[in-house]
Structure 1
Amino acid sequence: MPSAVLRAEALGAHLPPLVVEAERVASTVMQGVHGRRRAGMGDSFWQFRPYLAGDAAARVDWRQSAKAERLYLRETEWEAAQSVVLWRDGGPRMQWRSHLAEVTKKDRASLLLLALAVLLLRGGERVRLLPGPPRSFQGRGALPALAEALALAPEALPSAADALPRHARIVMFSDFLGPLEETRAIAAQLAARPLSGRLLQIMDPAEESLPYAGRRRFEGLLGELPAILPRVEAVRDLYAARLAAQRAGLADMAGGLGWSFSTHRTDARPETALLALWQGLAPA
């Protein structure tokens, strides 16, 4: 527990400027686009869920609460359908940065997640974190709490998604360089909820071009043994082919699930990726 507290404090110290930057990026994208607030809440019952701090008292179902002797909210299927679930990979690979970029992949993923959350919250939508607290964030004032929850979120994606709203949408930020079979298994489980999804692959520019030459020592980020290459340029074409194959596999997997797949480099402007995500989440 002490190590978790120290980690949370360290991440929390980095969050205020990240939140400010997320607000700036979101505001840039908002210029020229309109919000997507929908009228009406619908009346198709979906589930009861426990009352959580920040929920409006007017949404409490007093009859169900009296039966259980605790406060419960009545949620409708419309509300579930308007939830957007966000996940950011925080693993060791995401914490790497080359000399060609100013930020790590994790920092860029966190920025895009928070900026997208700003747009969603301003549009009146409900945002969930995976993994995260069993509640939805709603309203413009929810961003600080969401950012704090992001700082405390475990690095890995949990295999179970039973607690997520059915028919919600999910946006996943990662480099997706792990085994394709693992990504496919997790995505298939999420799609079975059913959830519609978008995958954004975030890459460092050096991972795109392998801009090294001569004898180089490469050290793994997941405990692998180091590898020494006498001439890096000799394997550049093979590396590019394997990266292209990985991306093709991810795109095919996403397409098979009815999801979408796109890429983003950490040396590119975050506004471009955010605008594409925002437009992709717009209703048909």
Structure 2
Amino acid sequence: MAQATEQPNKETLAVRRADGESRTLAASLPRLMLEARRIANNVTHGLHGRRRAGAGENFWQYRRFVSGEPAQNVDWRRSARDDHLYVRELEWEAAHTVWLWPDRSASMAYASKGARDSKLERALIVTFALAELLVAGGERVGIPGLMNPTSNNNVIDRMAQAILHDTRSRDSLPPSFAPSSLAEIVVLSDFWSPIGEIRQMLAGLSSSGAHGTLVQVVDPAEESFPFSGRVEFVEPEGGGAITAGRAETWAADYVALVAAHRDQIRIETGKLDWLFSTHTTSRSTAELLLFLHAGMTSAKGVERGAKAGLGA
């Protein structure tokens, strides 16, 4: 009996670990939520949301009359105040669903020395902030398998509560589900999963015709491999470990393997006309948020962002 007391079974250890992680997440979520709202508010000042002309009831803007349009489109009251003819446009109101998936698996908790955020914190901040922006623009936002789509103004609070009360295993990739053909999907993960699993995920999510973006969130140390000397590397999800006698001699091979893995992901996303980008936690959170929001507004806008260096 004494031996059993000294050596708790695996289930007890798992419960203790889960309890500790949930308390840590619960303690950090208020800060992450505030940070997300701050970044979303700052970004909003430079955006006009996703509003655009179309069928609806709410006034959006006046624009110049274009030769060849039906004369009944002219707003004569507005045109009488100027030397030009104007058309009154209504706001497009066909809101659709955006699914956001922040990877909360064990590997996302990593943060190298001096890093401001762990990968998990950065993924949650971006998820919360993007959800806030999208809901403000009239869209519905959900988390696959965790939170049904909503356009509620308290979307951040709802997401936080759903995450805190989630008792299931923390998978690296989103669960299999069938989004509508008009849905958009954003997956924030470190994407260290085998390419076969990523390929399978993409096939399932895109089968209905949905469009999406994969963002690989990495720590600066995972990007540059700054290790030297004798270092033990522990795999946080599989539990394996390997020791390097002179870690610096591994750097070139590591960088090459990471580049090859990313090339494989780009090939798979390219086949489906999805987007793939990388984000290092040392970079600006607002930069990533702007990139993703642009992608929600226009695929061409995303391509411009990628060419500017966001899609490395």
Fold match by TM threshold 0.5: yes
- Please identify the structure whose Cα radius of gyration is greater: 2
Contact 2:144/2:175, CA 8 A, preserved across alignment: no
1:279 is the counterpart of 2:287: no
1:168 is the counterpart of 2:183: yes
Work out the CA distance in 1 between the residues paired with 2:242 and 2:164: 33
Q: Match of 2:49, as an amino acid? A: G
In structure 2, the partner of 1:66 is none
In the TM superposition, what are the counterparts of 1:1-284 in structure 2 within 5 Å? Answer: 11-37=25-51, 40=55, 78-79=94-95, 82-133=96-147, 135-153=148-166, 154=168, 155-156=170-171, 157-162=173-178, 164-283=179-298
Work out the CA distance in 1 between the residues paired with 2:56 and 2:150: 16
Q: Match of 1:138, as an amino acid? A: S
Work out the CA distance in 1 between the residues paired with 2:256 and 2:98: 34
SS in structure 2 of the partner of residue 111 of structure 1: helix
Structure-1-length-normalised TM-score = 0.79
Alignment RMSD (CA, Å):
2.3
Work out the CA distance in 1 between the residues paired with 2:156 and 2:230: 47
Contact 1:87/1:131, CA 8 A, preserved across alignment: no
1:7 Cα deviation from its structure 2 partner = 6.2
SS in structure 2 of the partner of residue 140 of structure 1: coil
Structure-2-length-normalised TM-score = 0.72
Count of aligned pairs between the two proteins:
244
- Between 1 and 2, higher relative CO (CA 8 Å, sep ≥ 6) is seen in 1
1:8 Cα deviation from its structure 2 partner = 5.4
In structure 1, the partner of 2:76 is none
1:13 Cα deviation from its structure 2 partner = 3.4
Work out the CA distance in 1 between the residues paired with 2:19 and 2:235: 27
Work out the CA distance in 2 between the residues paired with 1:6 and 1:232: 31
Change (3 A) 1:84 1:267: same
Change (3 A) 1:257 1:125: same
Change (3 A) 1:9 1:166: farther
Q: Match of 1:261, as an amino acid? A: F
Contact 2:134/2:140, CA 8 A, preserved across alignment: yes
Q: Match of 2:217, as an amino acid? A: I
1:178 Cα deviation from its structure 2 partner = 1.0
Q: Match of 1:263, as an amino acid? A: T
